[in-house]
Amino acid sequence: MALGCLEIKHLGLMPYKESLRIQEQLVLSRRSGEVPDQLLMQEHPHVITVGKSSSEEHILMTEEQISDLGINVFKVGRGGDVTYHGPGQLVGYPILDLKPNRKDLHRYLRDLEEVLIRSLAVLSIEGRRRDKMTGVWVEGRKIAAIGVRVSSQWITSHGFSINVCNDLSYFETIVPCGIKDVEVTSIANELGTKITIGAVTRIVVQEFREVFQTNVECDPQ
């Protein structure tokens, strides 16, 4: 799926509300042609996001318990169920114009999975898809989630997250992606050694470039 020009923004550890504001602004700017396609790479402080397909039953703690853990909760306009983001997890938000010849949501989701599967392969981790489920798995353990929104003008927002070196115990506050009894894992867990967000960011950006056949303007620092 060839895109052309892509601008990468490294936003560091950014509160979810601020990141959502930036996404919304860039969607408008991309729709008007003021900016090229974008890829926002970042981490978030502890946050639970609730997608359009989510049930309140998939948050397993009370509001008070969630607040005591320092977790914010946001209802968002993306597909998918409930998920968690936090420090040590890499989050990517592509803001892409899929017109005129890339208007295929299924293909877009599979391409995002392919980016993550290839990134894991660079680290000698075998990531796989699962039938009728979106995301990436390692021997039945979920390591990456995907939840996107595509506007009526075919501009994408929201995106993917991959567990790098985050505290996985926070996933116990939810039913991840609405899948009961799912086990989650991280790159650090699978490797049995430390790894940095920066190292994984460089790999993911490179694989995004390969899968989407882009000309990257801003390489990772």
Query: What are the C-alpha distances in Å from 150 to residues 85, 108, 140, 206?
Result: 21, 10, 28, 23
For residue 220, the model assigns a pLDDT of: 42
Beta bridge mates, 5: 215
35-53 pLDDT tens trace: 999 999 999 999 999 887 6
> Distance (Å, rounded) from C-alpha 136 to C-alpha 138?
7
Q: Which residues are catalytic?
A: 177
**HSE, side-chain direction, 13 A CA sphere, residue 42:** 24
Predicted structure pTM score: 0.92
CA torsion through residues 128, 133, 63, 75, sign: positive
CA distances (Å), origin 8, targets 43, 167, 208, 209, 219: 15, 27, 11, 11, 7
CATH of domain 4-216: 3.30.930.10
**In sequence order, what are the residues at sequence separation of 6 or more whose Cβ sits closer than 8 angstroms to the Cβ of residue 93?**
19, 23, 38, 39, 40, 42, 157, 158, 159
pLDDT attached to residue 113:
98
pLDDT, tens digit, for every residue of 155-195?
A: 999 999 999 999 999 999 988 767 777 899 999 999 999 99
C-alpha distances in angstroms, 113 versus 40, 42, 142, 146?
A: 17, 18, 12, 8
Q: Structure tokens of 31?
A: 């729709």
Contact between 92 and 147 under an 8 Å Cβ cutoff? The reply is no
Tens place of pLDDT per residue across the chain (221 aa): 555 689 999 999 999 999 999 999 999 999 999 999 999 999 999 999 988 767 678 888 888 999 999 999 988 878 678 889 999 999 999 999 999 888 999 999 999 999 999 999 999 999 999 998 999 999 999 999 999 999 989 999 999 999 999 999 999 998 876 777 789 999 999 999 999 999 999 999 999 999 998 865 544 43
Domain boundaries, the chain: 4-216
